[in-house]
Amino acid sequence: MSVSGVGLRALAVALPRWRLTRAEWARAWGRRPGPGSRPVAGHDEDSVTLAADALDRLTGAGGVDALYVAGVTAPDAERSSSSVLCAALDLGAGVLTADLGGSLRSGAAAALLAADRVRARGAEVLVAAADRRDAEPGTDLEPVLGDAGAAARLGPAAAGDLAVLAGSASSAADLPDAWRPAGEDAVRRADAAFSPRLTLGPGVRAALERACADAGVTPAEIAAVAAGGAEQRLLTAAVEAGGVAAAAAGGDPRALAAAGDCGSASSWVALAAALDAAAPGDLIAQVAAAGGGADVLIWRAGDGLDAWTETGGSGLDVPSGQEIPSYARFLRLRGRIGAEPLSPYTSAALLWREGGDELRLAGSECAACGWFAYPRRPLCVECGGRELRERRLGRRGTVVTWTEDHVFPSPEPPTIMAVAEMEGGGRFFGQMAATPPGLARTGLPVRLVLRRLHEGGSLGHYFWKLLPVEES
Amino acid sequence: MSGRLAREVAVVGVGETRFGELFDRGYHDLVCEAGLAALDDAGIARERIEAAWLGTATPGVSALAGDAATDLTEPLGLRGIPATRVANYCTTGMEAVRAGALAIASGMYDTALVVGAEKMRDVPARGSLLARHILETHPLLAKGRTAPGQFALLGTRYLEEHGYDREVLAAVALKNHENGARNPRAHFRRPITEEQWARAPMVATPLGLYDCCPTTDGAAAAVLTTREEAERLGRPYALLTGMGLSTHGGYFTTQFDPDSDFLGFPATRGAAAQAYAQAGIEDPARELDVAECHDCFTITELVNYEDLGLCGRGEGGRMAAEGRTRLGGDIPVNTSGGLKACGHPIGATGVRMVADVVDQLLGRSGERQVEGARRGLCHTLGGPGIVSCVMVLEAAS
């Protein structure tokens, strides 16, 4: 199949519920307070759940040929984040699932690989990039980093796309500006004056020039630069040097303000912000730059922008999130101050046998009488029918009853448990996610989100939790 | 199905240990003390016991003590007789009584010993039932559950549906603490004030600390025999005239069941219907003189009133608030102090209830005596309300 171009069908950003204000961070450390806040993943969120939240926001995740998941903070080594997501979102067992990591550029690299697969197969491909980022407590980096996920759907260019990929280029150079020793979770940075000038600057400039050449445009035609990350100032200087107009190179400050330096997801968050302000035909340079080089994707905004705007765009303008009451609570959320130790029971065999269906929300429907049950049953309880079809539990529902449980050990007490009646029939009973005390009530609209339930046997267990639906 | 016992079954002896944090007593000590007390009460020697049943729900908490019925026969030195350990969540104790009663009624045995025992405080309170949800059971569906949390789901619905304030729960807590203060074997022997109840920390909304039963050690025993044998022994005894057990749903799925209304327990209603039919009871509120019911949490006692037919749907709260279930009320409930004040050593509780009701029917309840009690009820509820046992006992003659 001949594919003339690669289109960006859909794009979504997901931020976790919690926020640490830079004022609270400064109060704790006796520093000068900065503006705004950084998004903070809760104890039950990691790069897998942030990616799941972003993928959930894409309209229609099904019917894809591959899922590429990028990030440098995958919770487990030698276990595929993309396969967990493929199962939870029920994408089908036949899709290619691949995990990219090792560099903050992996989010952009995933898009470049996805574009190649779209061209080669004429297929639609999902890309997700997410990171949960930590720095040493008290360092300048700590309030600047962020946790976020982004997801995109790419396919053969078509009417209604948000943008079309006009060109791309990469540059690689091993110069140490940022790194994280294996087994540690805090980011290290080299001399702030040395690394930008010698590593990122030249790399970005070279990649940008070649990407523009690939697209058949000049840097001066770039309407906006979508570059995430803490090195924004440096990137700006580099692209300006490459011939991009100063106004365009500045990028959209909302991306950094809302999501912080969220690692592999940051250039996608910046692209989402740039699309909010773009007009069809505008050229946007998505720039991912970090230790080891730079990737640049030149997007030409498409006629899908109207729909993008109508459905709320990136959503970065909408104030969201819940302030963490204190820096101490932040440390506990991050697992840096011990909570009650837990080593929940698990069984790999049981998880495979039952947990897989439960994770896919696979219930059973009686072929004879239509009686539905989740979790699935071996027999229809209503009529005794033995022929059962698989039907998934709905993802949205309404709280039937609930409790704030102060007994169950949690880094975010109380644990709120709720029963919800789900759309399409059936109920779900389980924990609520990121719900402050006092919010739960009978009749509350909720939806199911993927969360990290616990680490029994040092294995991350993913399951669904009920999240209040924000009604604006 | 006849739905009734083929031979009449009598309770000729009961015995209990003190309930509490019995750090200085082992599981075998408790079984032995309760078992011997029941044998002495019946006035029979060990050698008369032909078969035995042991009820223990969570042997894992105490070095597997109670995992098999040899933990009954070994300490009591019963050699060679058949003995079986049973478990059925929090109805475990009554399940042991039920097994013994069925055996007597079958005609195979004439005298049986049943013991319920649980040694929960060999580990901190958080190491027993809470740990079960975390360290055992389903890797996904169990996590986040606690016992109070599962019953609190009813509390939320019940208060909203029937328009009660949370304070309605206090009536149950105050009553059962007041009764427990009069029970020398209870875990808690102090009355509490409504202010204490209100000030207590929240456990699982709307349940506070005084809405929850404690974690407790204890054992109780009963000697069962035929009516003829009881007559021959020539001592006071009670007859088991109704016995029902009902299961409804499953531990991990009952909350997912769209038919659950979180206002009561079908298992209790099913067990009560069976027991009442056998005992010929048509209007339990009038025909019962005393009742022990499963007040693991205060909300549970309120819905029990309704499920057991002691009042109409939604009237449980009013019944408690008006004092109709206190000593001297229309039908005193949990004159022992209930699970709330006695504590709830799981396997022991059902047998303890039988012992307490037998004491009432035989006029042996001291300060807690319900004058002229002739017919009493015992009720336990297991899991998140998915299995229930109800027994009706009557004074002989």
What value of ipTM does the predicted structure carry? Answer: 0.90
Strands A445-454 and A461-468: antiparallel
Q: Which of B213, B344, B378, B379 is catalytic?
A: B344
Decide if A375 and B143 are in contact by the 8 Å CB cutoff: no
Chain A interface residues (partner B, CB cutoff 8 A): 342-347, 350-351, 354-355, 358-359, 373-375, 377, 400-409, 414-415, 417, 419, 421, 425-431, 442, 453-454, 456, 461, 463
Decide if A403 and B134 are in contact by the 8 Å CB cutoff: no
Output the CA torsion sign for A179, A182, A187, A188.
Answer: negative
Please state the pTM of the whole predicted model. Answer: 0.89
Put simply, whether B252 touches A (Cβ < 8 Å) is yes
pLDDT in tens, A125-177: 999 999 999 989 999 889 989 999 999 999 999 999 999 999 999 998 776 77
Phi–psi pair at A388, nearest 5 degrees: -120, 135
Output the CA torsion sign for A349, A351, A356, A358.
Answer: positive
| B387-395: strand order across its sheet | B83-86, B51-55, B111-118, B218-226, B9-16, B238-247, B387-395, B375-382, B290-292
Amino acid occupying residue B121: R
Amino acid occupying residue B151: F
Token couple for A314: 């990136």
Measured CA to CA in angstroms, residue B176 lies from A438, B311, B332 at distances of 30, 19, 10
Which of A347, A408, A454 is nearest residue B146 as measured by Cβ atoms?
A: A408
pLDDT in tens, A122-139: 999 999 999 999 989 999
Catalytic site includes residue B344: yes
Q: How far apart are CA A198 and CA A187, in angstroms?
A: 20
Q: Which residue has the tokens 């539990």?
A: A393
Token couple for B163: 């328009």
Chain A CB contacts of B145 below 8 Å: 408, 417
**Partner A, chain B 169-208, Cβ-Cβ below 8 Å:** 201-207
A460 against A147, higher pLDDT: A147
Put simply, whether B134 touches A (Cβ < 8 Å) is yes
pLDDT in tens, A358-405: 999 999 999 999 999 999 999 999 999 999 999 999 999 999 999 999
pLDDT at A349 over 60: yes
Instruction: Select from A179, A226, A177 the least CA-distant residue to A203.
Output: A177
Alpha helices in B219-328 (DSSP H): 227-233, 266-279, 284-287, 298-307, 316-321
On the question of a cis peptide bond just before residue A35, with omega within 30 degrees of 0, the verdict is no
Task: Report chain B (397 residues): mean pLDDT per 10 consecutive residues.
Answer: 94 98 95 98 97 96 93 96 98 98 98 97 86 84 94 98 98 98 98 98 98 97 98 97 97 95 98 98 98 98 98 98 98 98 98 98 97 98 97 93
A78 CB-near residues (< 8 Å, 6+ apart): none
Q: Summarize chain B as % helix, strand, coil (round to 5).
A: 40, 20, 40
Residue in B closest to A420 by C-alpha: B256
Which of A343, A402, A429 is nearest residue B256 as measured by Cβ atoms?
A: A429
- Please give the angle made by the CA atoms of B367, B371 and B375, to the nearest 5 degrees: 115
Phi–psi pair at A149, nearest 5 degrees: -130, 155
Instruction: Select from A352, A341, A448, A383 the least CA-distant residue to A53.
Output: A448
Q: How far is A429 from chain B (nearest CA, A)?
A: 6
Total length of chain B: 397
Residue in B closest to A343 by C-alpha: B135
Decide if B148 and A405 are in contact by the 8 Å CB cutoff: yes
pLDDT in tens, B38-50: 999 999 999 999 9
On the question of a cis peptide bond just before residue B206, with omega within 30 degrees of 0, the verdict is yes
Q: How many CA atoms lie within 13 A of A125 on its CB side?
A: 27
The DSSP secondary-structure symbol of B254 reads G
